[in-house]
Amino acid sequence: MSVSSGDLDRQLLLDVAKVALSKAIELGADQAEISLSSSTGASVGVRMGELETIEHNRDKNVSLSVYFGHKVGSASTCDLSISAVQEAVAAACTIASSTGYDEALGLADAELMANDISDMGLDFQWDRSVDEMLEAALSCEAAAISFDSRIKNSEGANYSSHRGLEVYANSHGFCGDYYSTTNGYSASVIAVDGDEMHRDYWYSSERNPANLDSLESVGEMAAKRALQKLGSRRISTGEYPVIFDASVAGSLIGHFLSAIRGGLLYKKASFLTDKLGEQLFSEHVNIIEKPRLFGAANSACFDDEGVRTPEQRDIIKNGVLCGYILGSYTARKLDMKSTANSGGVRNVRVSHGSKSREQLLGEMGAGFLVTDLIGSGISMLTGDYSRGASGFWVENGEIQFPVEEVTVAGKLADMFNGIQEIAADSLGRGNIHCGSILLDKLTIAGD
C-alpha cells in the first residue's frame, strides 16, 4: 500500500469544476463556485501488541453554490460523473429559487482572487506498506509499555498517513488546487498503582514525515504523562496564579480567535464585539497569522473562496486588536473587507519571551500548573470561562504533587489581559503555536 501513488484524479476534478460552472451559468446563475476534494490514505491501530484495525480510505467530494442575484442554492455529491454533477447544479439552482434575499451573499470580490499560486511545501509523498505501518505502531506502543512496570494497560497506538487534493474554482475565472499530506502516530496508555489508574497519551503529526518525533519518544512521553498523574489529589478552593502548559495553552488563544470571528461579530454574539483597536492583552503579547509559511500545518495561497492570503498579518500587536477573522459574507455584514479567512485562520504564532517553563514556575512561586482541560463551559457572548482541569500544584517554584478533579474559572477578557509571561516552549505542532502561559490569577474550585 502507498498513499502517494497517482495524482488523485487531478484532471478529472478540474474537468468537473469546468463543467459545473458552465452548467450553472447556462441555467441562469449570475455566479457560481465549486469545491472538490480527493483523498487517499491508511491507518493502522494496535493494542497490547496485537493488530486491532486497518483502515483504508479513498474519498471524493463535490460541493457547489450558485447565486441568482443575492439568493443562493447549494448542493453536494460524492459522484463525480458529469451527469451527477450536472444534476447537483440543477438542484442547487432550484433551491436558490426558494431561498431568502441577502445582500451580503455572493462570491468574494474578483479583485481579491489569488494570482500567485505557488508550492507551499505541503506534499511529502511517503511509500509505506501496511506491514511497515503495523511494525511502527507496535514499536510506539512497546516503548510506552516497557518504560515503567506501572504501565499496566494500553488503549492502543495508531499510525496513519494520508494524502489529499483540494480544488476550488468560481465564475470569476479563478481555479486553484494543491496537494497536502498528513503523517503521524500516537499512543495512549494506563498507569496503575494499587487501586489508582490514570490514562494519558501523546502524539506527533507533520506534513513531512522526516520531521516526526521518534516512535520511541512518543511512546515514552505517553507513559511519562500517565505516570505523573499517580498520587493525584484535590486542592482547596481559592484564587491562585495559573500556568497553562504549552500542551493546552493554544486552547486559550483558540477561544480568543473564536471570539473575533465575523459570524459572531455581525450578530453581536461575542464579548469582543466592537473591540477593534482596543487593548485586549498585555503590551508584550503579539499574535500573528502566517498563511504562506512554507511547509506549515495550514498553509495555502488562497482561502476557501479563492481570496489571496497575505504573507502574514497582525491580529494582536503590542496587545491591541488589529483585525478580525472574516470571509466575504461576514465582511460585507460588517461593512469591511475579507481577511482571507474563509475556512479559518492559518498558522497562528504567538510571541514569547526567552524563559523556559521551569523559569515560569519559579516566577509563579506557588500556584497551579494546568496540563489537561476537560469540557467546554465557555460563553462567547459573556466571556465566562469554566473548565475541568488537572495538572500539578507548585510551591517555591517546584512541582509538589499532581492535581485532579478541579475546575478553573474566570472571565476570558481578564485572562487575556492577565497574561504575565509566555515561555519559549511551544510544541511546534498544529495550527496554533504558543508556549506555556502564566496568568496572574484564576479561581480554582476544589475542596
Task: Tell me how many degrees the CA angle 114-340-428 measures, rounded to the nearest 5.
Answer: 105
The pLDDT of 176-183, averaged and rounded, is 95
Q: Cell triple for residue 207?
A: 506534513
Cα 22–chain centre separation: 35
Q: What mean pLDDT value characterizes the chain? A: 95
Owner of C-alpha cell 440543477: 90
Q: Given this model, what pLDDT does residue 5 score? A: 47
CA distance 371 to 403: 10
C-beta atoms surrounding 52 within 10 Å: 13
**pLDDT for residue 360 is more than 60:** yes
Sorted by sequence, the CB contacts under 8 Å of residue 94 that are 6+ apart come out as: 73
H or E stretch at 376: strand 367-378
Beta bridge partners of 433: 349
Q: Given this model, what pLDDT does residue 376 score? A: 84
How many residues in total does the chain contain? 447
The pLDDT of 213-223, averaged and rounded, is 97
Sorted by sequence, the CB contacts under 8 Å of residue 81 that are 6+ apart come out as: none
The pLDDT of 67-79, averaged and rounded, is 96
Report pTM: 0.94
Inter-CA distances, 303 with 316, 322, 339, Å: 21, 20, 9
pLDDT tens for 11-21 read 999 999 999 99
Q: Report the CATH fold assignment for 10-228.
A: PmbA/TldD fold (3.30.2290)
Ranges of H-type helices in 97-232: 130-145, 215-228
Torsion of CA 222, 225, 230, 235, to 10 degrees: -150
Q: Cell triple for residue 211?
A: 520531521
Q: Output the DSSP codes for 216-261.
A: HHHHHHHHHHHHHTTT-B---SEEEEEEE-HHHHHHHHHHHHHHTB
Q: Given this model, what pLDDT does residue 128 score? A: 86
Task: Tell me how many degrees the CA angle 117-121-125 measures, rounded to the nearest 5.
Answer: 120
Under the banding of pLDDT at 50, 70 and 90, the label for residue 3 is very low
Q: Given this model, what pLDDT does residue 1 score? A: 36
The pLDDT of 199-212, averaged and rounded, is 94
The pLDDT of 123-146, averaged and rounded, is 93
Tell me the one-letter amino acid at 239. E
Helix, strand or coil, per DSSP, at residue 91:
helix
CA distance 248 to 251: 6
Q: Given this model, what pLDDT does residue 4 score? A: 47
CA nearest 146: which of 47, 219, 199? 219
pLDDT tens for 220-241 read 999 999 999 999 999 999 999 9
CA distance 222 to 203: 8
Inter-CA distances, 173 with 109, 110, 191, 346, Å: 12, 9, 58, 25
> Cβ distance 390 to 406 under 8 Å?
yes
Q: Given this model, what pLDDT does residue 394 score? A: 97
Q: Given this model, what pLDDT does residue 51 score? A: 97
Least confident window among 2-11, 93-102, 313-322, 338-347: 2-11
Q: Cell triple for residue 121?
A: 511545501
Q: Given this model, what pLDDT does residue 6 score? A: 58
Extents of the domains making up the chain: 10-228, 232-447
Q: Given this model, what pLDDT does residue 7 score? A: 81
